[in-house]
Amino acid sequence: MNGKQNKIDRRDFLKTAGAASIGSVLASARAIAGPNEPNVVDPNAKEKAQEPKLPPVPRRKLGKTGVEVPCLALGFGAAGEPTVLRKALEWGINHWDTSLVAAGGNSEISIGEFISKNPKVRKDLFIVTKESDSKTAADLEKCLQKSLEKMHTTYVDLYMGVYRMSEPEQLTDEVKKWAENAKKRKLIRLFGFSTHKNVDRCLSAAAKLGWIDAVQMTCNFRTIRDANMQAAIEACHKAGIGLIAMKTQAKMTDSDEDKKLTEHFLKRGFTEGQAKIKAVLEDERISTACVAMQNVALLTTNVAAVLDKTKLSQTDVTFLDTYAQASCSGYCAGCAYICDEALTEAPYVSDIMRYLMYYNSYGQQERAKELFATIPSEARGRLLSMDYSIAEARCPQHMPIGKLVNEAVSKLA
């Protein structure tokens, strides 16, 4: 294939993947077709035989674990549709990320149903799950056993035993001993944690411990170039900890800034979402971007982004930076130690901002309400009477915290 043809195919592939049907995407991908046979019973096998095949998604090392994962991981924001799971596997996306409580507990159940129907596929999967705010070894054991039962499996590949970690102190000796013991019993292969809050601090602490295999953290075009985040990523990379980026999209609303960003990337041949995945994966220290993909169209769009080898240009990066600055007051970066110091009686502001994002931007209204309800009722009762001015003055994102807390209470309470 000559260079000109290659360029046309890439643009066509990305644009159609971002905006149109799977049929046209696959047709555009014909030039880069390659073999990739999954070990799955597929009821649509006849129809599929007519489709050209995509090459598998590129793989990267997960720290020093000895495991390679696809650079795009399948997040289960909802229960997984069998068609999506089959198609993900077909494209080499065997890293499936769920949690005990995701989709009201149905996400793990959907994985279990898939494994029951396709038992041979279990050995090919890299299943990551998380517990539900456990504190003790007994809690961890109980949650893990529930996850194993729901997913019809005898082991989890990577267990995020500390879910939504916000303070390094949560990584106690008790947790360490439990993780070591669970590995010996072959219930888990690897152990780590997930974090949305005080991410750089949690990563930096993990790098010093020597018993954390991998971390799943909020990481996107808004946060990845922050100096503290860069230092934390480098410390984990040097320590051999696998880094899994989540919340890569960090989209707020359909503002004028969003429209400008969308238009810029469409002219370049990308969707905005594809560009945001590239912005994270261009850092080779990140093993994979974990993205919730509920349908084949979204899966196809994101696969197109990671198969395409074009790097973001300096202009693309500047567009993303400009957008991040223009829309910063709508995005909470999770640096809770800053606002918590100013609001000792309401150390939930960053959580509330995240729940509001789930409600406003992710279309996850029920999940947002359920999470808001986990804040102790006494603290919820104080929210509307507090003075947020000091926290607002210190917030690096210049968020109108008081106004947003009001909005959250009206929508989520």
For binding to ligand SF4 (CB under 6 A), which residues are involved?
332-336, 338-339, 349-350, 353, 395, 397, 399, 401
Q: How far is the CB of 405 from ligand SF4 (least distance, A)?
A: 10
Q: Toward ligand SF4, which CB reaches closer, 212 or 401?
A: 401
Nearest 5°: the CA angle 217, 218, 224 is: 105
DSSP state letters, 278-299: HHHHTSTT--EEEEE--SHHHH
Which residue is listed with tokens 């409600």?
359
- In the complex with ligand SF4, the residue whose CB is nearer, 57 or 401, is 401
As measured in angstroms, the least distance from the Cβ of 194 to ligand SF4 is 17
**Closer to ligand SF4 at the Cβ: 214 or 405?**
405
Q: Say if residue 207 is exposed, middle or buried (CB neighbours under 10 Å; 0-12, 13-18, 19+).
A: buried
Q: Least separation, in Å, of the C-beta of 345 and ligand SF4?
A: 15
CA-to-CA separations, 95 to 84, 132, 143, 292, 339, in angstroms, rounded: 13, 20, 21, 12, 35
Q: Of the two residues 206 and 349, which places its CB atom closer to ligand SF4 in the complex?
A: 349
- Is the Cβ of residue 31 or residue 409 nearer to ligand SF4 in the bound state? 409
First to last CA, the chain: 58
Tell me whether residue 272 or residue 340 sits nearer to ligand SF4 (CB atom). Answer: 340
- What lies within 8 Å, CB to CB, of 235 at 6+ separation is 203, 204, 207, 208
Minimum Å distance from CB 335 to ligand SF4?
Answer: 4
Instruction: Output 24 or 228, the one with its CB closest to ligand SF4.
Output: 228
CB of 70 to ligand SF4, least distance (A): 31
d(CA 128, CA 190): 9
- Residues 74 and 94 sit within 8 Å (Cβ to Cβ): no
Distance CA(371)–CA(364), nearest Å, equals 11
The nearest distance, CB 384 to ligand SF4, in angstroms, is 17
Task: Kindly state the smallest distance separating residue 266's Cβ from ligand SF4, in Å.
Answer: 30
Buried b (16+ CB within 10 A) or exposed e, 286-304: bbbbbbbbbebbbbbbbbb
